Amino acid sequence: MKNAKPLLVVGAVVILVGWLFVTLTGGGSQQQSTSTASPTATVVAVEGASGLPTVALASLPPEAVETHALILDGGPFPYSQDGQVFGNREQLLPDEEYGWYREYTIETPGSDDRGARRFVVGEDEVFFYTDDHYDSFREVVE
């Protein structure tokens, strides 16, 4: 039984990698998307300081890169909601005091409204990206 422990560890790693694959790829769902949004950004299966998965800024849609620069420059922003407090009601971001997070719209070409893409930015200037209107977040890394 000396070799049982390493086998358990290997088995656990294989299960975790399989779970991550299914989670990040949508479980092989055959549903067709009717969205006009650009393809989703590449997710890096690495946790950021927040504990959330990370995504490289360079892999995000060009509109996200433009919005990122606009936020760092302080605006002006195209929507009146940009820069407003994000309440974190979904509790998917790290727990902080109300007012810690601000949200910003990322343009979605072809969308008739603001679309589903947003940056949520903490007071510590950590950026979080969502392309599904707050159902999930990824910490942006440069």
Return the active site residues. 103, 133
* Segment holding 86, helix H or strand E: strand 84-86
d(CA 62, CA 15): 35
127 sits in which H/E element: strand 127-130
Beta bridge partners of 139: 54, 128
**Residue 129 bridge partners (DSSP):** 119, 138
